Structure 1
Amino acid sequence: MSTVVQGRSNAISAFTQALRQFAEFRPEMTVERLALLASAFFTVFCNVAFFRAAAATGALQGHWPTALSLVAMVGGLNLLLLCLLLNRWTAKPLLIVLLLVTSVAAHFMSRYTIYLDADMLRNILHTDGKESGELISPGVLPSLLSLGVLPSLLVWRVRLRHRTLRRAALVRAAWVVLAMLIAAGAALASFQNLSALMRNHRELRHLITPGNYLVSLARVLADDEVAKHRPRTPLGTHAHIAGRPAEARPRLLVLVVGETVRAQNWGLNGYARQTTPELSRIAPVNFSQVSSCGSATEVSVPCMFSPWGRANYDKDRIKHSESLLHVLEHAGVHTLWRDNQTGCKGVCDGLAFESFEHATLPKVCDAEGCLDEAMLQGLIGEVDRRPGDMVVVLHQLGNHGPSYYKRYPPHLRRFVPACETSELGDCSREQIVNAYDNAVLHTDEFLANTIRLLAAQTGRDTALIYVSDHGESLGENGLYLHGVPYAIAPDTQTRVPMVMWLSSGFAASRGIDIACLKREAKAPASHDNLFHSVLGLMQVSTSEYDPGLDLFRGCASR
């Protein structure tokens, strides 16, 4: 017993001594020296994802001078960044914030190969608390402690040396020049190899941290500031319904915008598993070769509701123009956006909008959110309040990761064992795919229930179009989730499912040959078709309509 007591006493004494030593640890240094140490720390310990991705290109294999030059170049750039940001008054608090944020960024970049470009930052900033909370799991703690908290404690204990303002400015200018010389000298030392690497793999720059998220954040904030003071450009203001008799039955089109469902796991596309059993019984028109406009919601949703699409993609033009829904409203077609996600991304600005983010509907909602079925409750009542033609958008939560296991009810837990944590690194790939496929089953059930609801309407001709906003990586080539820059995004993130269903009355009123449409559905299609196909289906005449992109045109007699 005395040995145990003595051991505890020694442990307490050692801990007390460590605390005393830490309290006495107050090194004095200049801001520039602190910046140098921090830049070395960021370069060596926080850029693992960048150096790993650079090595994976093969450009560094057998070229150790190039590898050393790359390390020195990144170190010089980090030093330059810190010399421009830090001063005597902001150095410690700002550096602590950078360490904490960078530790989390490094974790996700290393674990999921996430590229922190402007689009990804925009996704992160516009994600609600429930979704972002799913990403903060115990798995991030080791990185947060080792790369964030502990270095921050050391920074906090540093005493910064004071200088006169004139001398501080001269010394800082010299360090800025030094940092530029280090970065430029390192680049020139292996210019041919490094320039080829960065030119052929431009996406790598979005892995250099902390510069990647700081530059991207500045771009996003600048864009948002411009958007505040720039009105949307009107679109289709002279749109009108054409070619329909006055006595025609009103039409209801439900447009379901899916979330993170990829074509490769869609049962109707021939996937090895039957993930669309309900839709298979209904037999809608299935488009099997559809590409998305982007690899993330912030890009795809505004793009698919614009007339320009990916073929003529212009982010600023799309962001600052009215959308398909505004064109429909100009034509006298009522619109309603029902959302179980993070908003309509500007697509429905100024139009009817309902959010189910904080809904408390029994059976379909809990403290963590709602299943997509919540959007069907009260839907027909909302439609009945608006006589005439109407287009309703249902924006799903769908397969939003990484918590796939939360995206389906218990009775759809058919593929087991399923990954039941948001920390995908703790699950096997089989478990991840099982959870993901169960969530696809839920989208299948949701779409089937929506079609049945529409088929039961007797006062309107009804139709449904479903298309996912983007796909998802489930561990292929070390990639998870989505948001990889479009130029290098794999097919798993850019190939999406799309289905269409028309009531017999709707098909007859438009003269649409469903058999013809099913044949046409075998050809490649994309998000670019959505804008023009909806206008064609609803018989909206406007100069923005391109008949060559209307998927119904070749199979419609009127």
Structure 2
Amino acid sequence: MNSVVSRGPFDGVLRRVRQWYAIRPEMTVERLAFHVAVFFTVFCNGAFFHAVSGTGAFHGASGFRVALSLVLMIGALNMLLLSLLLNRWTVRPVLTVLIPLTAVAAHFMSRYTVYLDPDMLRNILHTDGKESGELLSIGMVPSLLALGVVPTLLVWRVRVKVRPIGRAVLVRLGCIVLSLAVAGGAMMASFQDISALMRNHKEVRHLITPGNYLVSLVRVAQHDGARHRPKTPIGVNAQVVGRTPGAKPRLLVIVVGETVRAQNWGLNGYARQTTPQLRAMGPINFTDVTSCGSATEVSVPCMFSPFGRAHYDEDRIAHTQSLLHVLDHAGIATLWRDNQTGCKGVCDGLPFESFEHARDPQACTAEGCFDEVMLRGLAEEVARRPGDAVVVLHQLGSHGPSYAKRYPARLRRFTPTCETADLGDCTREEIVNAYDNSVLATDDFLARTIRFLAEQSSRDTAMIYLSDHGESLGENGLYLHGVPYAIAPDTQTRVPMVMWFSPGFAADRNLDIDCMKRESRAPASQDNLFHSVLGLMQVRTPEYERRLDLFDRCTTPH
């Protein structure tokens, strides 16, 4: 009797899968590098070509030639890069890292119009695990699979053909020379147009993947490697002058805000009242304030430095002591309390407290703490500093993209809200609602801080609030922040600033509050903070510039 073998419906599919799996093409390293270079150029540089198209470079009679030249140039540069990185021993490990990283970079550049310059890479590298985790969403899985996982698996299916070492060296040198020739020839074919593009729109180079993040990583590593050298001292002979004998000690709280933009600040005339508690308190609100940078890693060190944006020098700022060091030299106690990822070098060597991983049941959840946690135990810390003191409270504020995690349920007033970090899955209304609720949380925190200061009967107290940078909420396709400063929109560089003074502080300092309210309508910037705080606390040092002191016109000598 003949036996009949029953075949299931998937047998044919499984057989084809086994047949495919048995296929292992053989390639030289150079040929594999060529395929990967083409893949990077065609599939991972959509953000670059979209940005270039937006400049009008592809329009007109020369448009096609410019586009073709850029494709050839970028492809040749990618081939050059891979020719320098890959050999028979490194080809699989390097591509296993490089391809998924490039896929992630391509996703975020296309999704949020992120420019991967050194400042952005520094922000990413210095972001903690919780904030990084917020950026990982289901929405990025398809692109990561298509651009990262599948190509990497294909690389591992390739059998690398090995040449004799002498011939391999000659072939590799030939690839390098040919890559340089093609890149140079493509550039020369449209030199006038491409040079104009790169001259007038320098920022687009930070969209060329994977070269953008690799070059930026090298520059960040060089910068961070040098950060550990000693900071240049400033204000070592600083002194407090002109204090009234027997006057109460002063307590100034500087609140460094996070990602709050001036356009959504209720006190600035925003259509929604996102600052109802502050409005009732009537503080001094500055309506036209510019940030030093469009990201925390730039703005925070800059605003506490004597150089500011007017004399911006990243390396000089990083390796020079800050405002807090000058105050310390003058005998004024300092304390930095942080609900973010550190003081960015501003408080190096000075008292520092982190609440990033606090476990306060009233102010914290499993996903992090609300900013009010920084007021816990503050009275006790202040009591340990009997003289004049300056305390900095560094907020988590409106840090995106998970705006809905920045405020408690009681402040969810604007609905419906975007409840995911993948902003592409939300309407703009939902994004703005969630963001505005986070601004309400900053209003609540500042009101709590003012009430705390008003209760300190043994001290004259004051508060200065200044956000580090703003945020894009979908305008012109931009989200989040960190766009290169030269092209950053106002939504990322205009920030709120608010001041409050107890009656005793204003009287002892001879500060005319009505005058300050008039001055608050004039343009100001983060460059003013360093000099204004020194002036307010009556610290004299050569670094102080009177013309940048916002209080100078509104104080009278004793």
1:3 corresponds in structure 2 to none
1:424 corresponds in structure 2 to 423
* Correspondence 1:47 to 2:48: no
RMSD: 1.0
1:3-22 matches, cutoff 5 A? 9-11=8-10, 13-22=11-20
In structure 1, how many angstroms separate the alpha carbons of the residues matched to 2:298 and 2:210?
23
AA aligned to 2:24 is: R
Q: Summarize deviations over 1:396-425 as a string: whole Å, max 9, x none.
A: 000000000000111111111111111000
In the alignment, structure 1 segments of 5+ residues that lack a partner are 1-5
Offset of 1:92 from its aligned partner? 1.0
1:463-502 matches, cutoff 5 A? 463-502=462-501
1:534 corresponds in structure 2 to 533
1:114 corresponds in structure 2 to 114
2:335 corresponds in structure 1 to 336
Q: Which secondary structure does the structure 2 equivalent of 1:462 belong to?
A: strand
Offset of 1:165 from its aligned partner? 1.8
The 1:445/1:164 distance shift into structure 2, 3 A limit, reads: same
Q: Summarize deviations over 1:22-76 as a string: whole Å, max 9, x none.
A: 3212111111111110000000000000000000001111311111111111111
AA aligned to 1:200 is: N
AA aligned to 1:149 is: V
Q: Which secondary structure does the structure 1 equivalent of 2:435 belong to?
A: helix
Offset of 1:502 from its aligned partner? 0.4
1:102 corresponds in structure 2 to 102
AA aligned to 1:419 is: C
AA aligned to 1:420 is: E
* Correspondence 1:186 to 2:186: yes
Offset of 1:223 from its aligned partner? 1.1
1:171 corresponds in structure 2 to 171
In structure 1, how many angstroms separate the alpha carbons of the residues matched to 2:338 and 2:19?
55
1:232-311 matches, cutoff 5 A? 232-311=231-310
1:203-222 matches, cutoff 5 A? 203-222=203-222
Is the 2:363–2:370 Cα contact (8 Å) retained in structure 1? yes
Q: Summarize deviations over 1:468-504 as a string: whole Å, max 9, x none.
A: 0000000000000000000000000000000000000
* Correspondence 1:64 to 2:67: no
* Correspondence 1:30 to 2:28: yes
1:303-322 matches, cutoff 5 A? 303-322=302-321
Return 330-339 or 91-100, whichever deviates more. 91-100
In structure 2, how many angstroms separate the alpha carbons of the residues matched to 1:94 and 1:215?
16
In structure 2, how many angstroms separate the alpha carbons of the residues matched to 1:21 and 1:122?
46
Return 347-356 or 62-71, whichever deviates more. 62-71
* Correspondence 1:545 to 2:544: yes
In structure 2, how many angstroms separate the alpha carbons of the residues matched to 1:70 and 1:55?
12
1:291-440 matches, cutoff 5 A? 291-440=290-439
Identity of aligned residues (%): 70
Offset of 1:246 from its aligned partner? 3.5
1:504-515 matches, cutoff 5 A? 504-515=503-514
In structure 1, how many angstroms separate the alpha carbons of the residues matched to 2:535 and 2:213?
42
1:124-163 matches, cutoff 5 A? 124-163=124-163
AA aligned to 1:481 is: L
Offset of 1:219 from its aligned partner? 0.5
In structure 2, how many angstroms separate the alpha carbons of the residues matched to 1:495 and 1:225?
32
In structure 1, how many angstroms separate the alpha carbons of the residues matched to 2:372 and 2:433?
22
AA aligned to 2:72 is: A
In structure 2, how many angstroms separate the alpha carbons of the residues matched to 1:521 and 1:21?
74
In structure 2, how many angstroms separate the alpha carbons of the residues matched to 1:14 and 1:367?
49
The 1:144/1:14 distance shift into structure 2, 3 A limit, reads: farther
AA aligned to 2:281 is: I
Q: Which secondary structure does the structure 2 equivalent of 1:234 belong to?
A: coil
Q: Summarize deviations over 1:440-472 as a string: whole Å, max 9, x none.
A: 000001000100110011000000000000000
**Normalising by the residue count of structure 1, what TM-score does the alignment of the two structures yield?**
0.98
Q: Which secondary structure does the structure 2 equivalent of 1:497 belong to?
A: strand
Is the 2:47–2:207 Cα contact (8 Å) retained in structure 1? yes
AA aligned to 2:224 is: D
In structure 2, how many angstroms separate the alpha carbons of the residues matched to 1:14 and 1:358?
54
Offset of 1:373 from its aligned partner? 0.4
**Normalising by the residue count of structure 2, what TM-score does the alignment of the two structures yield?**
0.98
AA aligned to 2:528 is: N
Offset of 1:167 from its aligned partner? 1.4
In the alignment, structure 2 segments of 5+ residues that lack a partner are 1-5
2:85 corresponds in structure 1 to 85
In structure 1, how many angstroms separate the alpha carbons of the residues matched to 2:28 and 2:230?
48
In structure 1, how many angstroms separate the alpha carbons of the residues matched to 2:552 and 2:168?
70
Q: Which secondary structure does the structure 2 equivalent of 1:311 belong to?
A: coil
In structure 2, how many angstroms separate the alpha carbons of the residues matched to 1:14 and 1:235?
76
Q: Summarize deviations over 1:228-276 as a string: whole Å, max 9, x none.
A: 3x21000100001001134121000000000000000000000000000
Q: Which secondary structure does the structure 2 equivalent of 1:360 belong to?
A: coil
The 1:14/1:457 distance shift into structure 2, 3 A limit, reads: farther
In structure 2, how many angstroms separate the alpha carbons of the residues matched to 1:325 and 1:142?
47
Is the 2:244–2:508 Cα contact (8 Å) retained in structure 1? no
The 1:18/1:358 distance shift into structure 2, 3 A limit, reads: farther
Offset of 1:18 from its aligned partner? 3.8
Return 243-252 or 13-22, whichever deviates more. 13-22
In structure 1, how many angstroms separate the alpha carbons of the residues matched to 2:198 and 2:16?
46
| Aligned pairs, number | 550
In structure 1, how many angstroms separate the alpha carbons of the residues matched to 2:130 and 2:394?
16
In structure 1, how many angstroms separate the alpha carbons of the residues matched to 2:495 and 2:364?
27
Offset of 1:439 from its aligned partner? 0.4
